């Protein structure tokens, strides 16, 4: 039961921990996660509780900034780190012809894996897509032959093929960029970090 929501929230907690729900809500909205992964604010709080129930994240404390409402801050547990890697790997290596969110989620969190694994996974996707495209071609032929299958089913497979080819081209270019040293991955040091601002106040000098 690893919905994109849980993976995105777990990955975000991993990157910004210790972090509270409202920060994630703002940060993920700047990522436009509501558009490409259909994650609305309310779902984030639910995902946090759900991940907590599974022991993947734990409450690390409660803060209060002045007399603002109290915040509950979360951290990823060791179990959660393992689960995060497992979920990411599954997203990287499993090709679902109709799952168009997987690649978006990957783009956001691939840095948690190593550069080598991501490149290998992408190359696997590329060949895997070749196979699916061939399968689609036979589906289209079958549809043309069959008298009971609605003819327009062809269109769904044509579109699926077109989309997958597009993803394949993108994956090829991304592999090239990654082999050329683009971005920074787990275990690599130096350069601009791939992540955004730290979890502290975006515009406050509170720490003093």
Partner DNA sequence: TCCCATATAGACAACTTTGACTAATCGAGA
Partner DNA sequence: TCTCGATTAGTCAAAGTTGTCTATATGGGA
Task: Tell me which residues touch a copy of itself (CB under 8 A).
Answer: 31, 35-36, 97-98, 100, 103-104, 107-108, 110-111, 148-153, 155-156, 158-160, 162-163, 165-167, 169-170, 173-174, 183, 192, 194-197
How far lies 62's CA from each of 9, 185, 197, in Å? 19, 31, 21
Q: Which is closer to a copy of itself, CB of 100 or CB of 179?
A: 100
Strand positions, DSSP E, the chain: 19-20, 57-63, 71-76
By CB under 7 A, is residue 32 in contact with DNA? Answer: no
CA 59 to chain centre: 23
Least distance to DNA, CB of residue 140, Å: 27
**166 phi/psi in degrees, rounded to 5:** -65, -45
Structural tokens at position 13? 């907690």
Stretch that binds DNA, among 41-49, 107-115, 124-132, 185-193 (CB under 7 A): 41-49
Least distance to DNA, CB of residue 99, Å: 12
Least distance to a copy of itself, CB of residue 64, Å: 27
Rounded CA-CA distance 29/39 in Å is 9
Q: Which is closer to DNA, CB of 39 or CB of 119?
A: 39
């Amino acid at each position: 039961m690893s919905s994109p929501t849980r993976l995105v929230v777990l990955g975000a907690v991993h990157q910004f921990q210790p972090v509270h729900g409202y920060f994630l809500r703002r940060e993920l909205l700047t990522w436009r996660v509501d558009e490409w992964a259909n994650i609305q604010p309310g779902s984030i709080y639910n995902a946090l509780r759900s991940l907590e129930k599974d022991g993947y994240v734990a409450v690390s404390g409660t803060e209060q900034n002045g007399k603002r409402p109290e915040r509950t801050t979360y951290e990823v547990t060791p179990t959660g780190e393992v689960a995060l890697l497992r979920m990411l790997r599954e997203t990287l290596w499993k090709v679902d012809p109709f799952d168009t969110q997987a690649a978006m989620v990957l783009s956001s969190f691939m840095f948690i894996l190593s550069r080598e694994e991501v490149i290998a996974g992408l190359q696997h996707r590329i060949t895997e897509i070749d196979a699916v495209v061939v399968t689609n071609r036979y589906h289209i032929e079958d549809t043309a032959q069959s008298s009971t299958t609605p003819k327009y089913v062809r269109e769904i497979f044509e579109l699926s093929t077109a989309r997958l080819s597009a993803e394949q081209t993108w994956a090829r270019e991304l592999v090239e960029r990654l082999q050329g040293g683009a971005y920074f991955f787990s275990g690599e040091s130096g350069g601009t970090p791939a992540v955004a601002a730290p979890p502290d106040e975006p515009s406050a000098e509170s720490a003093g």
